[in-house]
Every structure is written in C-alpha cells, then in structure tokens.
C-alpha cells in the first residue's frame, strides 16, 4: 500500500540533538511499515534551508509544515502575555489559514503519489489530514498520543491507535485499537564490548548507573543528583552517566560541579540515536524517575516512556517511578524496580538494592530483555498497524 504518514509537528531527523521521542516514534513506524512492503511517505515539519524532499532509510520524507513564518517569528519575539492575547484573538482565522495552506500542499502530494491510506499523527491547529482523506475518498487512521486530538479526524477515522483508549471520547471508542509504543530490539540489545565503552567514558571499573533524557522537569534528573551522595556513601566507586543534550542539562552539570560530585558524573552531551544502545548496554542500572509533575495534566495518561523499553531491550534493569509505569511496562521485582515519585532516598535505595546482588541484577536484566522482545517491539506494533491498514483498504 502507499501510505501517507502525516506528522505535522515532527521534525525529521531531529537535528538539535536534544532528543525527540516523537521523532523516534515516527521514524521507527515508517521504517517497520516499509519493511512490511509498504511505500511510506512521511509528511512532517520543515525549518528554513531544509530540503523539501529527502530519502531516509527505506521511506520518503516530505517537509511541508512549518512554524517558521514571519508572523510566527514576530509574535514569538514579543512578551508571552502579549503573544497569548494576540493568539487568542487570531486562533480561529489562524487554524483556518493553516488548514487551507496544508490542505493545498497535501492535495498536490496526494494527487501525485496516489496514496491508498492516510495515517495521521495527533494534529494540532489543522484539519488538513481529515479533509484530504475526504477529498480523495481514502481511509484515514489516526494516532493519538497526547490530549491534543482533532474531533473531525476522530469522526472521519477508520481506526484510532492509542495507548489510552479511555481518553478517547466515548462516541468514538468502538474505533480504538490500544497499542503501546515500542522499541527497536535489533538496535537496542545487550553489548559485549562493555570495557571499550567504559574506557571511552573514563570509567575503568566500578558500577555504572545511566539516565537518558533531555532533563525536562518531569524527567526527575534533579532527584538523581540528590540521590547520588546517598548512593556514594555505600558505593563510592559508583558512577552516573547522563546521556542527552539540551539547555536544561547545563544547569544540572553546573549543580554537579558546585556540589563536588563532578568525579562521579559523566555528561555525554547529545548522542546520535544509533549510539545510545551501546552506552545503555555498558551500564549496570538505568533510571527513569519521572516526577509528580508528569501527573499534573492529562498527558500522563498517555505516558509510554520509550527509554524504559530501550533500557529493557538492552538487558539493563530499569528503576522506574510508579507514575511513569501507567502502562505496566515493568513488573516490580521481575524485570525492573518500581519506586515512588519525588524521592531521592527511594532512588538511592533501589540502586543499592541492585548493586548489593550482581546475580539479582543480571536476572532482572535478562527478564527485561525477554519482556521487551515479547511485548514491546516496533515490529509487533507495526504488524498490528498493518492489519488495520489492510482492513481499511477500499473503505471511503
């Protein structure tokens, strides 16, 4: 089938190095659908100077959505309060204008490529996906991964893919297919070159704990820094590796230095997606201590943290807060450890609990890998999508 994957807010590839779960998700779905024999075109956002069309892996990228307009730049340069007032007054004409522009682009692309189905990632401020599927009388499937959905898209859709069916309006729930997000289990796997990776990090020996992320407030990195001294009291040779880039991480790096913890920490900065697995696999324990901030809006109900799945696929036991485990990815004491949110002491206790027993740590890691392969691979996710696409064939 010729599939048009509409990802209006996603930038591919994500060039700033700060990490993007949405970009990873989109790329993996496109790759695995292509592997099933489909001709996939991803329609995504574009920044100034980028190519309009590019081949990435086995699928095509067409960049046509953009926030980089003179109007948007003018608004963003003013005070936030001024911008909010202006945008509230302009929201209806803005959505209408954006929809018409996007619909024009998509119509030309669809006429040229003759798509069989449209697959729309959660849209915001545009109805172009639903309208182009109506215009060409082709089925629309919708991927809902946060609280921002478009009613027209849900009404028009043949199927709704989401990890949280309970969040979809009741009148559309008969269309829901609940699917968790996944992990590339071929890329993320146990590594047998641990010593070489640790040498690169300047860690010759001792246990290593890893965190992967951009350091957003709800990621819990601030509690890892508070847990470090508690851990080092019992395991002074323990080292903490922080993988990721972004403006937030500079503040954490400065705090580590101010607290005299620099010898125990390694900040790698932004790392290419393909290089992350070897860093994870070279460590003994992986952290995902999402905070109570995650639960302050409805987005938490969709939470399916891919880095937890990536830790598991690498055979490294994860320590995860209960709030972040809303999808029941980790079974406490079986393939990982669950802890309460916002507690440095809980993080330190869980780290030491795993460091106390190499045998326990190895057993949890092996079961984590097995669980990732059995339940959470992108290949499985896309086989389920494939069934939905095939059932939608011919539906107008």
**260-285 pLDDT per residue, tens:** 999 999 999 988 888 999 999 999 99
What percent of the chain has a predicted confidence (pLDDT) above 90? 65
Could you tell me the CATH number of the domain that includes residue 98?
3.40.50.2000
pLDDT tens-digit profile of 34-67? 999 999 999 998 876 777 899 987 999 999 887 5
Identify the burial level of 165 via C-beta atoms within 10 angstroms of its C-beta, where 0-12 means exposed, 13-18 middle and 19 or more buried. middle
Q: Given pLDDT bands bounded at 50, 70 and 90, which one contains residue 70?
A: low
Q: What are phi and psi of 63, to 5 degrees?
A: -95, 110
Count CB neighbours of 240 within 10 A: 25
- In the predicted model, what is the mean pLDDT of residues 332-355? 98
Could you tell me the residue range of the domain that residue 324 belongs to?
194-375
In a domain, 166, yes or no: yes
Closest listed residue to residue 285, CA positions, set 227, 351, 234: 351
77 plus 165 within the same structural domain: yes
Distances (CA, A) of 161 to 56, 81, 170, 193, 385: 24, 36, 15, 38, 8
- In the predicted model, what is the mean pLDDT of residues 95-104? 84
In a domain, 189, yes or no: no
| Strand-pair category, 208-212 with 176-178 | unpaired
Residue 197 contacts residue 275 (beta carbons within 8 Å)? no
What's the length of the chain? 396
Q: CA 262 from chain center: how many Å?
A: 29
Spatial separation of the C-alpha atoms in residues 240 and 264, rounded to whole Å = 6
98 plus 6 within the same structural domain: yes
In a domain, 187, yes or no: no
pLDDT tens-digit profile of 310-342? 999 999 999 999 988 888 999 999 999 999 999
In a domain, 188, yes or no: no
Q: Provide the mean pLDDT of the chain.
A: 88
210 plus 346 within the same structural domain: yes
323 plus 365 within the same structural domain: yes
In a domain, 386, yes or no: yes
For the CA atoms of the chain, what is the radius of gyration?
22
pLDDT at 18: 43
Residue 203 token pair: 């860690």
Angle between helices 344-355 and 358-375 (to 10 degrees): 100
298 plus 387 within the same structural domain: no
272 plus 368 within the same structural domain: yes
The larger pLDDT score, comparing residue 170 to residue 49, is at 170
Spatial separation of the C-alpha atoms in residues 378 and 221, rounded to whole Å = 27
SS3 124: coil
The order of strands in the sheet holding 159-162 is 53-56, 59-65, 39-45, 2-6, 117-121, 140-143, 159-162, 176-178
Strand-pairing partners, residue 162, are 178
116 plus 218 within the same structural domain: no
263 plus 357 within the same structural domain: yes
How many domains, the chain?
Answer: 2
pLDDT tens-digit profile of 184-214? 999 999 987 888 999 999 998 899 999 999 8
Residue 49 contacts residue 298 (beta carbons within 8 Å)? no
207 plus 163 within the same structural domain: no
Q: Given pLDDT bands bounded at 50, 70 and 90, which one contains residue 107?
A: very high
Write the CB contacts of 262 (distance below 8 Å, at least 6 apart in sequence): 256
Whose structure tokens read 């399916």? 304
In a domain, 327, yes or no: yes
In a domain, 256, yes or no: yes
| Strand-pair category, 2-6 with 39-45 | parallel
8 plus 69 within the same structural domain: yes
Helices vs. strands in the chain: H and E counts, helices first: 13, 14
Residue 66 contacts residue 46 (beta carbons within 8 Å)? yes
160 plus 202 within the same structural domain: no
pLDDT at 145: 87
pLDDT greater than 70 at residue 81: no
Q: What are phi and psi of 158, to 5 degrees?
A: -80, -35
Distances (CA, A) of 303 to 22, 163, 180, 248: 12, 8, 9, 21
Write the CB contacts of 150 (distance below 8 Å, at least 6 apart in sequence): 122, 123, 124, 126, 127, 129, 130
Write the CB contacts of 237 (distance below 8 Å, at least 6 apart in sequence): 205, 206, 207
In a domain, 132, yes or no: yes
240 plus 153 within the same structural domain: no
Residue 68 contacts residue 41 (beta carbons within 8 Å)? no
Is the previous residue joined to 13 through a cis bond, with omega within 30 degrees of 0?
Answer: yes
Q: What are phi and psi of 353, to 5 degrees?
A: -60, -40
């Amino acid at each position: 089938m010729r599939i048009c994957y509409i990802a209006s807010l996603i930038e591919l590839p994500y060039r700033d190095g700060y990490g993007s779960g949405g970009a990873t998700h989109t790329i993996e779905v496109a790759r695995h659908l292509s592997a099933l024999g489909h001709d996939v075109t991803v329609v995504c956002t574009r920044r100034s100077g980028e190519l309009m069309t590019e081949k990435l892996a086995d699928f095509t990228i067409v960049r046509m959505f953009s926030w980089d307009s003179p109007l948007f730049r003018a608004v963003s340069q003013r005070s936030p309060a001024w911008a909010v007032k202006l945008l509230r007054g302009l929201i209806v004409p803005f959505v209408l204008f954006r929809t018409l522009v996007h619909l024009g682009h998509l119509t030309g692309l669809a006429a040229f490529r003759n798509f069989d189905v449209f697959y729309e990632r959660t849209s915001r401020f545009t109805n172009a996906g639903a309208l182009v599927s109506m215009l060409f009388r082709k089925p629309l499937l919708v991927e809902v991964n946060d609280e921002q959905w478009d009613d027209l898209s849900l009404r028009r859709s043949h199927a709704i893919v989401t990890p949280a069916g309970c969040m979809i309006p009741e009148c559309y729930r008969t269309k829901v297919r609940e699917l968790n997000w996944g992990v590339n289990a071929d890329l993320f796997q146990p590594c047998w070159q641990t010593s070489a990776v640790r040498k690169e990090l300047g860690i010759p020996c001792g246990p290593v704990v890893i965190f992967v992320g951009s350091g957003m407030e709800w990621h819990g990195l601030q509690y890892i820094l508070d847990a470090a001294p508690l851990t080092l009291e019992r395991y002074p040779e323990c080292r903490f590796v922080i993988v990721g880039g972004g403006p937030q991480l500079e503040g954490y790096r400065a705090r580590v230095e101010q607290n005299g913890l620099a010898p125990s920490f390694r900040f790698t900065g932004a790392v290419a997606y393909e290089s992350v697995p070897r860093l994870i696999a070279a460590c003994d324990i992986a952290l995902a201590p999402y905070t109570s901030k995650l639960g302050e809006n409805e987005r938490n109900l969709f939470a399916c943290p891919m880095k937890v799945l990536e830790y598991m696929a690498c055979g490294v036991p994860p320590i995860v807060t209960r709030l972040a485990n809303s999808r029941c990815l980790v079974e406490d004491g079986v393939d990982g450890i669950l802890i309460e949110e916002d507690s440095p002491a809980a993080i330190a206790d869980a780290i030491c609990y795993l460091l106390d027993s190499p045998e326990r740590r190895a057993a949890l890691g092996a079961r984590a890998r097995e669980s990732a392969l059995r339940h959470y691979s992108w290949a499985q996710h896309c086989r389920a999508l494939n069934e939905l696409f095939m059932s939608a064939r011919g539906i107008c």
